[in-house]
Chains A and B, each alone.
Chain A
Amino acid sequence: MPIRSIAYVTKLLCCLVFGYFGLISGAFGESWKDRVYAHGFYTLDFTYSDSELGLVSNDRQSRSYEDDAAGLNNSVFGGQVEALVSDNLSTFFQGKVFFNDDDEAQFTLDWAYLSYDFGDDITIRGGKFLVPLLQGTELRSISYSRLWARPLIPIDGANGFHEYTGLELLKHIQQDSGSWQLQLSTGKPNHEDEDGEIESKNLQLFSARYQGESFWLRAATLHGNYTVKDGDDEILDDSASVLMSSLESEIILGPYVLNMGYATSDSDITVNGSIYYASLGYQMGHITPFIYTSLSREHYDNYNEPPPPGFDDGNGPPLPDPAPEPPEEDDRIRDGDYDINSMAIGIRWHAGEGYGFKIQWENIEQKNSAGVDTDDPANDGNTFTILFEGVF
């Protein structure tokens, strides 16, 4: 980019920022500092993997971990700014910087919305959001929000439906010992699909979260519609849909912290999946040793892709007459599951308010009764992670 263009863009941005804060403070005769809330987060993550692995990372759905390699490229840094334009109207932006597959720093804007408070704890928001299916989808980049190191959801946690642009209606309800947070949303998902075979159309979701004194519980469900295309951009199915649901909880019992979650997806075309996880931590002052286990299961039912035009029941073409043994050269996917099991132990150290360290060893193992081609990568191996994390 020419230097003159950079200077022009810089000046334009400065004018916009100062004009924006000037508008906020001028409109209310208050310092803009009183009406702006800023927060940030960071994770400096050093991970060693002894095998080639393809796992969810701090910044996106799937990152390749190379065989016998170590690095800091799972680190992520981000921040947010919320500005109260009036007593009822506010704007919110949250973005992050991470390292992409080429190990170059990249910026993405995860949240960007305008919010209007109707009173009576009802808020409507319009803009770009992350979906609330399991905390790991919504708070994937915020390592400090979880006990363990790597985001839990392996592979297809939300089937690529991680973010959307649309409208949200939020309602808070207070009770004597806790509160409800209800969320109703509609919009267009920005589907994460490298092959471009899934073109999302719309989604509707509902989430309910109860915060008690020593626990929280959240349930969410999402219905999405999408179009399936082949590699030549030909439409194979224009009315495919997916239904995803999740249930998640954290319970604190004295020094024990128990987290559990379950998510499932039922799709017309792509494979159906489910995820289970549980972790248990024991708080000893600032130190919390923990264990966790998770299972990601994709169920295949004679599935072959891509499905032929006009065939939209999600099961692909039927196999020929059953044979006692499939021929050796038959590499079609069979009835069965593709599982990824993960087991980890680690220690979290709260070094201070808002920052700390984690050390974690994780074993990942796959079981492949469906005959899915998993050479790239195999998802069998171990990772060792040391990270420094924080929020401010």
Chain B
Amino acid sequence: MKTFFLLIYLLLSSQCLGQMVVVMAKDADIQNLNDQHVANIFLTRTNRFPNGLKAIPIELKNSDIRANFYEEISGKNPTQLMAYWTTLIFSGKGKPPKGYNNVSSLISRLENNLGCISYISLAQVTDDLKIVYRFP
């Protein structure tokens, strides 16, 4: 029975991750990013896209997919991630993506700034956004 529930859980987790996408404004110059680009931008190892334009990562506060996203790009759990950010934030060497309280604010910001990039569920992608990275 335990195995059955474990399989169901893994299947659902996989489904959730499969629905998570990285998006930008429809008119942004970026067409596609790879996993390394996404990790470097969201972990503030770089503040530039591969074409040299400024990257502004943003995210939804308290999002259900946030932990999955960072686990996927960095292998860090929320506690390890907070430790990572703390050393960067308070030495002025980096900062986490700007957090927004609701999806509409996040999407509005994405649609109106060509440098903004975020991760959302596939179902939340609007006509004014484009997907620049899909998780395998």
Contact = CB atoms under 8 A, between A and B. Distances in A.
Nearest to A286: B79
B98 A120 contact: no
A195 interface: no
Interface in B72-116: 74-75, 78-80, 82-83, 86-87, 89-93, 95, 98, 109, 113, 115
A80 interface: yes
B98 A37 contact: yes
A37 B95 contact: yes
A11 to B, nearest CB: 30
Contacts of B98: 34, 37
A391 B52 contact: no
Contacts, number: 79
Contact of A170 (B78, B86, B93): B93
B90 A139 contact: yes
A103 interface: no
Given A179-B40, A353-B79, A80 B115 contact: no
B36 interface: yes
B47 A117 contact: yes
B40 A39 contact: no
Contacts of B95: 37, 39, 82
Nearest to A115: B92
Contacts of A135: 87
Contacts of B40: 174, 179
Contacts of B79: 286, 350, 353
A384 interface: no
B52 A132 contact: no
Interface residues of B, number: 27
A141 B87 CA distance: 11
Interface residues of A, number: 43
Nearest to B67: A353
A32 interface: no
A77 B21 CA distance: 38
A41 B90 contact: yes
B48 interface: yes
A71 to B, nearest CB: 25
A138 B52 contact: no
Contacts of A238: none
B46 interface: yes
A119 B52 contact: yes
A94 B90 CA distance: 8
A132 B74 CA distance: 25
Contact of B90 (A30, A213, A391): A391
B10 to A, nearest CB: 21
Nearest to B40: A174
Interface in A344-381: 350, 353-354
A181 B52 contact: no
A34 B110 CA distance: 11
A144 B86 contact: yes
A391 B82 contact: yes
Interface string B42-66: 0001111000101000000000000
Contacts of B46: 121, 172, 174, 179
A87 B86 contact: no
B87 A139 contact: yes
A176 B48 CA distance: 16
A41 B82 CA distance: 13
Nearest to B112: A30
B56 to A, nearest CB: 9
A80 B87 contact: no
B47 A391 contact: no
A169 B102 CA distance: 37
B109 A181 contact: no
Contact of B92 (A113, A172, A179, A353): A113
Given A179-B40, A211-B45, A120 B91 contact: no
Contacts of A119: 48, 52, 54
Contacts of A111: 92
A354 B92 contact: no
Interface of A: 30, 34, 37, 39, 41, 80, 82, 87-88, 92, 94, 111, 113, 117, 119-121, 125, 129-130, 132, 135, 138-139, 141-142, 144-145, 170, 172, 174, 176, 179, 181, 211, 213-214, 252, 286, 350, 353-354, 391
Given A129-B92, A139-B91, A353-B79, 15 more contacts: A34-B98, A34-B109, A39-B95, A94-B92, A111-B92, A119-B54, A121-B47, A121-B48, A130-B91, A139-B87, A144-B82, A144-B83, A179-B40, A252-B80, A286-B79
13 contacts: A30-B113, A41-B90, A82-B92, A113-B92, A117-B47, A130-B91, A139-B87, A174-B36, A174-B40, A213-B74, A286-B79, A350-B79, A391-B90
The 7 A-B pairs at the shortest CB distance, nearest first, are namely A179-B45, A145-B86, A142-B90, A174-B40, A138-B91, A174-B45, A350-B79
